[in-house]
Amino acid sequence: MRVFYFNSFLRVFKKFSCQQQAQINSAVAGFISCLENKTPASSGIGLKKLTSQLWEIRIGIDLRVVFSIDQDALNLVFIGNHDEIRKYLKHNNR
């Protein structure tokens, strides 16, 4: 599966510490593995549909990654806490 990083994701991602970035990368890699192997994601990942095209997964307690899937591509759209995700969705009408 190909992974594309939207600028909105990268802008926020680069502000995290190396440790947090590693945690995010690990969680995303685990999710990709579930998609590729067609195995269910664990309930702890908090997979949730936000709009007709956007989904989110939880990274730890407070952090979420917003993404979309197009055929064989995972598009990482945004990363933030609950309030930041709501604000992003409101201003980007997705």
Question: Rounded distance, CA 18 to CA 91, Å?
Answer: 29
| Percentage of residues of the chain with pLDDT beyond 70 | 95
Output the domain CATH number for residue 7: 3.30.2310.20
Beta strands in 25-88, from DSSP E residues, in sequence order: 48-49, 55-59, 63-70, 73-80
CB atoms near residue 4 (< 10 Å): 13
Range of the domain at 45: 2-92
Instruction: Give pTM, 2 decimals.
Output: 0.89
Q: For residue range 42-88, list pLDDT tens digits in order.
A: 667 888 999 999 999 999 889 999 999 998 899 999 999 999 999 99
Supply the pLDDT for residue 37.
Answer: 85
Please say if the pLDDT value at position 17 is more than 90.
yes
Domain count of the fold of the chain: 1
Mean pLDDT, rounded, of the chain: 91
